[in-house]
């Protein structure tokens, strides 16, 4: 129906956004169970203008939590040649307030980390390279 589902996490409609509504209800239900801890939420998207893979994360006042949140993207950077930590950013832009990362970052407790993983539609640059490498089925299998 033309909705950007990643902008409707705050108040998804059961009629217009049924899958988002159901997932949100499930996460809220899981979060209320004291026996369960939801530690990671990762929303995966394709990016139409930037190269490589990179992440968006939330902003925290607690410096230790800021550092802990950066561990996962740093590990990706060390282990995936197409991931760029320099393109990774941590923000709380108002325009992103309805995203899963931002909404769940405010809902879940301090032991949870919520990310958006973005990967280029087109290609990536490896360190020291001057030519982009296109994403193909073959490069994804490697």
Enumerate the active-site residues: 118
What distance in Å separates the CA atoms of residue 76 and residue 41, rounded to the nearest whole number?
A: 15
DSSP codes of every residue in 84-95 = -STT-EE---GG
Instruction: Give yes or no for a contact between 57 and 73, defined as CB atoms under 8 angstroms apart.
Output: yes
What radius of gyration, in Å, describes the C-alpha atoms of the chain? Answer: 17
DSSP run (H or E) holding 140: helix 137-141
Contacts of 33 (CB under 8 A, 6+ apart): none
For residues 136 and 78, give the distance between their C-alpha atoms in angstroms, rounded to a whole number. Answer: 22
Q: Is 109 helix (H, G, I), strand (E, B) or coil?
A: coil
């Amino acid at each position: 129906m033309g909705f950007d589902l990643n902008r409707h996490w705050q108040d998804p409609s059961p009629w217009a956004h049924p899958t988002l509504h159901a997932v949100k209800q499930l996460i809220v239900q899981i979060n209320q169970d004291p026996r369960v801890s939801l530690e990671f939420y990762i929303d995966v998207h394709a990016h139409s203008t930037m190269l490589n893979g990179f992440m968006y994360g939330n902003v925290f006042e607690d410096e230790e939590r800021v550092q802990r949140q950066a561990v996962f993207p740093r590990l990706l950077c060390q282990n995936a040649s197409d991931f760029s930590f320099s393109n990774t950013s941590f923000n709380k832009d108002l325009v992103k307030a309805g995203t899963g990362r931002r909404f769940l970052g405010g809902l879940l407790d301090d032991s949870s980390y919520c990310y958006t993983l973005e990967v280029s539609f087109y290609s990536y640059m490896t360190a020291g390279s001057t030519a982009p490498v296109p994403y193909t089925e073959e490069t994804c299998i490697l």
